[in-house]
Amino acid sequence: MDLVITNFMDDLIQISKLNDFIFCPKSLYFHSIYDNFNTQTFQSKFQTNGKIKHQNIDKNIYSTSSNFLQGIEVYSDKYGLTGKIDLFDQKKYELIERKARVKQIFDGYKYQLYAQYFCLTEMGYEVKKLFIHSLEDNKRHPIPLPDQAETEKFENLIFKIRNYDIQKHLHWFAPESKCANCIYKNLCH
C-alpha cells in the first residue's frame, strides 16, 4: 500500500491519538469537545495518575545523563505525525515509551511507539531497539522493529484516521468492556 499524504499540514495527527483511535475511533471526536475544559472534569484516576508519573519526562528531569533525549518533539513529514517521545538512549539506540501500568501490549501502545520510531528515523536518528516500559512494576517489554507487514498495518491505521467520518459511526458502539472504562461514555450514550 503506497501512502500518499496531501495537505497534511492541515491534518497533522498527534502520536498520542493513535492509541485513542484504536481504543475507539469516536473518542477522538469526544476528546475535541473537552479540549478547552479543565482535565479534572473528565479524566479518570488512571489518566491523572499517568500524567503525574509522566512529569519527570515532561520536565526533562528523568535523567541528567546526556545520553538520554527526554520528551523531545518529533515529527514525520512522510506520515504527517507530530508528538513527543518519552526517552531515547542515544548510546544504546533504544526508544522507550513509558506507561503507568502494562498488563498486556495493546496495538495502540505498539503503533504509538512505531510512530515515534518513524519520526526519529526520519529526523536522522538511528533506532535499534524499541521498548514499552511499565512504571508500576519496572518491567521493560521489547517490541520488534516494524517489518514490512507491521509498517503496512501502521500505514493502514494512518489512512483510517485520516478518512474517518464520525457521521457514519454515530450509532456505532464499542464492545461493552471498552465502554465501561471510557471517560466519554456519558457523551457517547
Q: Phi, psi at residue 47, to the nearest 5°?
A: -70, -40
CATH of domain 8-188: 3.90.320.10
Question: Is the pTM value of this prediction over 0.85?
Answer: no
Task: Give pLDDT, residue 35.
Answer: 66
Conformation bin of residue 75: beta by default, left when phi > 0, alpha when psi is -120 to 50:
beta
Q: Phi, psi at residue 68, to the nearest 5°?
A: -100, 130
How long a stretch of residues is the chain?
A: 189
* Cβ neighbour number for residue 148 with a 10 Å cutoff: 7
Widest distance between CA atoms in the chain: 50
* SS3 of residue 81 by DSSP: strand
In the chain, the DSSP E strands lie at: 13-14, 68-70, 73-76, 81-84, 87-89, 94-99, 129-134, 139-143
Task: Give pLDDT, residue 8.
Answer: 39
Strands 73-76 and 94-99, by their bridges, are unpaired
97, 133 contact by CB (below 8 A): yes
pLDDT tens sequence for the chain (189 residues): 445 444 434 589 999 999 988 888 887 777 777 666 665 654 545 544 545 444 554 555 555 567 889 989 999 999 999 999 999 999 999 999 999 889 999 999 999 999 999 999 999 999 999 999 999 999 999 999 999 999 999 999 999 999 888 777 666 666 677 677 777 777 776
Q: Where are the domains of the chain?
A: 8-188
Please tell me the distance from the alpha carbon of residue 128 to that of residue 138, in angstroms, as a whole number. Answer: 21
